[in-house]
Amino acid sequence: MGEFTLEEINETLDVNVRAPFLASQAAIRHLTKGGRIINIGSTVATRMPRTTGSLYATSKAALVGMTKGMARDLGPHGITVNMVNPGPTRTGMLAPDGSEVAEAIRSFMATKEFAHPNDIAGLVAYVASPASQFVTGALLNIDGGYTV
């Protein structure tokens, strides 16, 4: 486990837990039946195959409980709450292609390909659509088989 300062812990929890909670709280005041809350998590909320990720994984795991709790609380009002969990995605957080770290991550994947942000956006668009009205409290992995 890495050494983390209190400042690093607070910053990670502020961004990944407190901000989504407060944003949801603010949004609820304006949502009506058919409203959607979509939390963006990470596959590391439920699977951490490498070292030094405990703080980030902790913050994303907290979103699991928040998502499920809010889904239960808001369901009677016709509001769904779900969590989209991207796996390895081509963003600034992913190690450069060809690096030892990227290849290690790829070795865990069924497809051996990293997602593009548009792949994630497509799932978010579905969860936001009327077609997903019966989906709530779900953790939706989009990860190229990283968690299988």
Which residues are marked as active site? 56
Looking at the DSSP assignment, which residues form a beta bridge with residue 80?
36
Q: Are 48 and 57 in contact (CB under 8 A)?
A: yes
Q: In the Cβ-directed half-sphere of 115, how many Cα atoms lie within 13 Å? A: 22
Q: Are 127 and 84 in contact (CB under 8 A)?
A: yes
